[in-house]
Structure 1
Amino acid sequence: MVTEHKKHVNVSTAIALYVSSVLGGGILVLPGLTAATAGAGALIAWVAVSVICLPIALMFGRLSSALPDAGGVSSFVRNAFGDTLGDLTGWLYFWVIPFGQPAVMLSGLAYAHYEFGLPRTATYVLAWVILCSSCILNIIGTRISAHAQSAITGAIIVLLFATILVSFPKVHAEAYQPLLPHGWSSVGSAAALIMWAYVGWENVSSIAEEFRNPKRDFIISIVVSMVIIGGLYAGSTAAVLGVVPPGQQDIQTAPLALVLRLAVGSWASWLATAIAIMIVVGSATAIIWGTSSLGASLARSGSLPGKMAIRNSKGSFQSSVLVLLAAYTIVLFVMYLGWVQISDAAMIVGGSAVITYGLCALAYVRLTRPKRLTSWLPPIITGIFVVALLPFFGKMLVVQFLIAFAYFGLRSIFRRGLIS
């Protein structure tokens, strides 16, 4: 007798999953980076990206309905176009995480640099020690729990909401004038930075099949999640713009702590710093766990060395974790030398996300074969968004080019087992 699978996801559960998947440590610096890039125009960028990400999220949910056993964006592309593009999509995720995670770590520790005068060299050394420790914890089988991940998400929400709340009495309306101090092109540049904050919709799209009432609840959960996330992101940026005087240097490194110090006092800034450090330290283990599993999946498909798919006695993909640690070390050193900035890392991660979203839009058309206009809207909007935004990533797209070049150059070597 076959037991029917019980669908257990309701609206509140889905909202919690979506919010926790998208909210990340990058928001610690993005309000300041986008404000410095586009001035008050950053608010236009935040609202625009938030609205455009709605059909993208709906597209991923529809893809998961078509492929309920799908394991992510690489699976969508693999089913539509074959192993080559599927593996390449996986590479575009796996090899940009070594840029994104060190940048997140440095963004949190930048608050310690701002608040306590932590020397620059010590900041980078501490970032490496934390990442190294997180890798070791993964190797010995210690991973972040769902409760701990929920606590991290809660800390981000508290920090953003507190920043918005206390800033209201201190906001100066004239701070939002002129609206476009650097022209419309700066809004595009800010939007490219913002994509770092919205990576994550694809990670939970598979829950679309678990809804009790999918036709109603799926769309409701996506819309409510977007309102929450977009409101927190845009609101915190508005707080930075409205409270921090123009030209303040720390706006790009510790913007939320700076707003809290100006609006409430030094004690609030200290609290923000403690929360920021907790966020990035706590998230490191989860990111390494998920990325090492992706590396193992790519190894099983033959596009990375086979040894990366082997678990150790603790159940960890040890070789995959060590590859990540080596990549983290190289990127941190390059960032320490000043060759790559946190904003550059944000562009690199966002660039890969936008490219893979474009591939998924094509996969959507091929796999679902939409017939109604409403079914065509998500891939069409996604495609227009991808084409419009890609030029703003500029020279950072060379990283995706190098990843693709390396993939096509090395895949035959891995598949023949010449490098195990």
Structure 2
Amino acid sequence: MTKLSVAQGTALSIGAVLGTGVISMPALAAAVAGPASLVAWLALIVLSAPLAWSFAALGARYPDGGGVSTYVRLAFGPRASAAVGWCFYFAIPLGAPPACAFAGGYVADVLGGGHATRIATFLAIVGSVFVMNWFGLRISGRVQLWLTGMLAILLLVTVIAALPHAHRANLHPFAPHGWSGIGAAAAVLVWGFAGWEALSSLSAEYRNPRRDVPRATGIAVVVVGALYLAVAVTSVLVLGPGLADSPAPLADLLAIGLGGPVRVLTAIVAVLLTVGAVNAYLAGGSRLGPALARDGALPSFINTPRRSLSLIGAGSLIAVTLPLSTNAALLLVTGCFTLVYVLGTAAAVRLLPAGWSRVAAGTAFVATLALLVLNGKPALFSLAVALGALVYQSRRAKIASPSSSTAGSIAPNPNTKPAIVEETL
């Protein structure tokens, strides 16, 4: 099997984190905090460094398709691992519809058609990413590399073209919804920074995980932080109060900066960004499913990446039919991701050696715990998913208990190598 290069891993990381956040989050954050949303942006960018480094350090030391669930298993045992694995694995199909809805809004802005156009965009994005990952990381990694390069250039062009139209007066009033709005904006922005955990499931796919995972992650942190901050600041300074009501802020920025029929271009950018994000998550999820099945946290028939990918694809089709608004689904998913971060960084504190890595993990743990509280009631969904994992583990243990005296414990040895079956391509 072809292994990921540093460039491909960097591109997958950037795509997973940047993704739909850059096309949607500036408006959503401004709606709840106004210009003060920039404080939340800066806080999340600063937080992403220790968070990403914690997962990179764990991935370099313990490369495995289980990703965060493997780290939690090594630190706290199989039940906590199953809870984390479920939160991440089942958040992927639930998050696909709102992720594609943001891109669908840009497409509908050009073509019309409203909800029907959004559904068609969802089917096109998920279908194309499904096919790419069906044929393995060799294809999806190369596609992601080209996508990321083109999109970084397009975002820079957008910022450079729009900045001459910035007005400092748009920073006033700075906190129209009060300072508490910054916390609300931070809870929304977790969606834009989710993704560092997705690539941990691909750590074993690098040519040299101990060397390449930290390199790819470090480059991605710098690129993502710079692009996010540039787009957020430009959006606030150029669009002003109208940013909160903009369904397509990138299109508005390009229209102001360049003029002409730019909405078609931004719709294409939005779709490509979403393809990048969904590609990274489906790639990670396709590896996570077999790892969870290997560890007894999912049924044993999910023992290959293609079977896992098929389950995620089917779940995405079910999720798009649920009567949930985009914001409601977004908050449910970010609650799951935040709980994954809390337990993943706690595992990093326990597993990583004393020094900078452990300090970074401790910082990330405290910050993500605060974010879980800020998420509010939607965070209860993540606890319900975690409880479902514990119930599954308990029932499985009872079923296996009659043969435990001869077969031994159902929990795998945490030091064993992954036994994920790869299909012959």
TM-score, normalised to structure 1's length? Answer: 0.82
Are positions 1:260 and 2:254 aligned together?
Answer: yes
Are positions 1:167 and 2:162 aligned together?
Answer: yes
Distance 1:136 1:64, change over 3 A: closer
Are positions 1:326 and 2:326 aligned together?
Answer: no
Distance 2:32 2:230 in 1: 17
What is residue 274 of structure 2 aligned with on the other side?
Answer: 280
Within the candidate set 19, 26, 42, 1:24 is matched to 19
Within the candidate set 289, 296, 299, 1:295 is matched to 289
Contact kept, 8 Å, 1:138 with 1:285, in 2: the verdict is yes
Contact kept, 8 Å, 1:102 with 1:331, in 2: the verdict is yes
Contact kept, 8 Å, 2:65 with 2:287, in 1: the verdict is no
Give, as a single letter, the amino acid of the residue that structure 1 aligns with 2:284: G
Query: Superposition pairs for residues 375-414 of structure 1, below 5 Å?
Result: 376-413=358-395
Within the candidate set 201, 222, 234, 1:227 is matched to 222
Distance 1:152 1:39 in 2: 31
Distance 1:361 1:27, change over 3 A: same
Distance 2:122 2:50 in 1: 36
Contact kept, 8 Å, 1:23 with 1:156, in 2: the verdict is no
SS of the residue 2:338 aligns to: helix
Contact kept, 8 Å, 1:305 with 1:414, in 2: the verdict is no
- Per-residue deviation at 1:133? 5.6
Are positions 1:79 and 2:47 aligned together?
Answer: no
- Per-residue deviation at 1:69? 5.3
What's the CA shift string for 1:156-179, capped at 9, x where partnerless? 312321221111111111111122
What's the CA shift string for 1:175-214, capped at 9, x where partnerless? 11122111222111211222222223345564785439x9
Contact kept, 8 Å, 2:33 with 2:177, in 1: the verdict is yes
**What RMSD, in angstroms, separates the aligned Cα atoms of the two structures?**
3.2
Count of residues paired in the alignment: 392
- Per-residue deviation at 1:45? 0.9
- Per-residue deviation at 1:229? 1.5
Range that drifts further, 22-31 or 228-237? 22-31
Distance 1:113 1:237, change over 3 A: same
Distance 1:369 1:248, change over 3 A: closer
Distance 1:139 1:223 in 2: 28
Distance 1:286 1:148 in 2: 11
Within the candidate set 43, 47, 58, 2:42 is matched to 47
Query: Superposition pairs for residues 246-257 of structure 1, below 5 Å?
Result: 246-247=241-242, 251=246, 253-257=247-251
Distance 2:294 2:138 in 1: 22
Distance 1:259 1:274 in 2: 15
Give, as a single letter, the amino acid of the residue that structure 2 aligns with 1:182: H
Are positions 1:346 and 2:330 aligned together?
Answer: yes
Q: Which stretches in structure 2 are left out of the alignment for 5+ residues?
A: 401-425
Are positions 1:317 and 2:306 aligned together?
Answer: yes
Distance 1:163 1:348, change over 3 A: farther
What is residue 3 of structure 1 aligned with on the other side?
Answer: none
- Per-residue deviation at 1:397? 1.0
Give, as a single letter, the amino acid of the residue that structure 1 aligns with 2:156: F
